[in-house]
């Protein structure tokens, strides 16, 4: 199982090929390819490479599925006995990122499996 730890949006995420992740908003339109190059660690079946701070030549390639807004978070502040109350909401702008492959020095070390084509068979009775 190959994976990479990537820094994006001020957070560090463990990314594996074939999975999607909700990350901070990227300035990319939906259904377009994007490459993340701030890779901190790459694990290729037990062979670990750690960067200082980033691994040289390591990238994570993927596809931006869509941009959307996250769930609303309510921020409520109240000072007891003072009759002061503040209620605010916040919705974070997010990007759904589908990881296609993890590359190291120009060659793909892990590629997402393509799902087998589903054939629909109908049986007549």
Between 116 and 55, the more confident residue is: 55
Confidence of residue 114 (pLDDT cuts 50, 70, 90): low
Q: Is a pLDDT exceeding 90 seen at residue 119?
A: no
**Burial of residue 73, with CB atoms counted within 10 A of its CB: 0-12 exposed, 13-18 middle, 19 or more buried:** exposed
Contact yes or no for 64/95 (Cβ under 8 A)? yes
- Looking up tokens 């990350």 gives 23
Q: Which two tokens stand for residue 34?
A: 């994007």
The pLDDT value given to residue 6: 97
Q: Is a pLDDT exceeding 60 seen at residue 125?
A: no
In sequence order, what are the beta bridge partners of 4? 15, 42
The pLDDT value given to residue 117: 46
Contact yes or no for 68/32 (Cβ under 8 A)? no
Confidence of residue 15 (pLDDT cuts 50, 70, 90): very high
Q: Is a pLDDT exceeding 80 seen at residue 82?
A: yes
Q: Which two tokens stand for residue 45?
A: 């079946």
């Amino acid at each position: 199982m190959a994976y990479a730890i990537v820094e994006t949006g001020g957070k560090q995420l463990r990314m594996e090929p074939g999975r999607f992740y909700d990350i901070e908003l990227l300035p990319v339109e939906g259904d377009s390819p994007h490459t993340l190059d701030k890779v901190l660690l790459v694990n290729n079946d037990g062979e670990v490479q750690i960067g200082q701070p980033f691994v040289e030549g390591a990238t994570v390639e993927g596809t931006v599925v869509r941009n959307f807004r996250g769930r609303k978070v309510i921020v409520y502040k109240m000072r007891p006995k003072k009759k002061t109350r503040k209620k605010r909401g916040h919705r974070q702008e997010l990007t759904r990122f589908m990881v296609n492959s993890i590359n190291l020095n120009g060659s793909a070390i892990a590629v997402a499996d393509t799902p087998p084509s589903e054939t629909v068979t109908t049986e007549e009775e």
